[in-house]
Amino acid sequence: MTGLQHAAPAPLDLMFQALADPARRGMVERLTQGPASVSELAAPYAMSLSAVVQHLRVLEDSGLVRSQKLGRVRTCQIQPGGLSLAEQWINDRRTTWERRLDRLSQYLADTAQDDGETP
Amino acid sequence: MTGLQHAAPAPLDLMFQALADPARRGMVERLTQGPASVSELAAPYAMSLSAVVQHLRVLEDSGLVRSQKLGRVRTCQIQPGGLSLAEQWINDRRTTWERRLDRLSQYLADTAQDDGETP
DNA sequence: ATGACACTTAAGTAATCACTTCAGTGTTTC
DNA sequence: GAAACACTGAAGTGATTACTTAAGTGTCAT
């Protein structure tokens, strides 16, 4: 019996949820220009350090960021392939959508030929 | 005086928040293969029609989906450029990150030349 | 050792979320 | 005109979120 009490959220849930907060996006933006400590990441924000750490945890759980502690400072950095899942989902939507439009306009062109083309 | 009581969430907030729910992503996936009515969209899900309509509202507010009512049936479809904001944000992160890595490896190559290259 | 530093953890709170049910509203169909 | 259909809107509920404060835990400098 594999019945889970609360189903684990899908990776994409965690990823998009993580990106839905402006502070968390800001931290990711900061980290794309290079690693930073927790307090460096916290500096631009009005919130408490505790709140920043909680955001960081969401980012790590989503696979976007990873970090390691050395002495008393934790250094955070982008997880290299982190965004690729989200990127791929969006790309899949775009291509499916575009293929459909192509088929549709092809169909319309063919139909136009069938009756109204030469008056 | 432009003081807002509750700051309006940024478009990206709404967009990623909308994509963070599996049911909403499922509806977007369904709609990329063509328009659908509300009940058609609701069919695969165990939840009430009301809940589906609420998800749909989130999707419309985020700019991912639009809909129009004809007679008693509301037809939903993908909003063409809808995903592009999210797509662009992700792309921007990727390119910034990659440029940084390039600069870094360039620097490392240059540094290696400076002392240890010819033993 | 003492104190400053960089977090870390726990507990609490107000707001938002993802639903539910129930009671409509307008539209076709018979 | 009555009944079925396709939503629509309001109100309520329990869970999750985004914070807060307060009290730690190791680490490094003096």
pLDDT tens string A90-103: 999 999 998 888 77
Taking 50 as the threshold, does the pLDDT of residue A43 lie above it? Answer: yes
Per-residue pLDDT, averaged over B94-112, amounts to 80
- Residues in chain A within 8 Å Cβ distance of B32: 93, 96-97, 100
DSSP character for B33?
Answer: T
Strand order from edge to edge, sheet including B73-78: B36-37, B73-78, B65-70
3-state secondary structure of B70: strand
3-state secondary structure of B24: helix
> What is the pTM (predicted TM-score) of this model?
0.88
Q: Which two tokens stand for residue A73?
A: 């400072």
Nearest-neighbour CA in chain A from B86: distance (Å) = 8
DSSP character for A48?
Answer: -
Residue contact A90–B97, C-beta within 8 A = no
3-state secondary structure of B18: helix
| pLDDT of res. B100 | 87
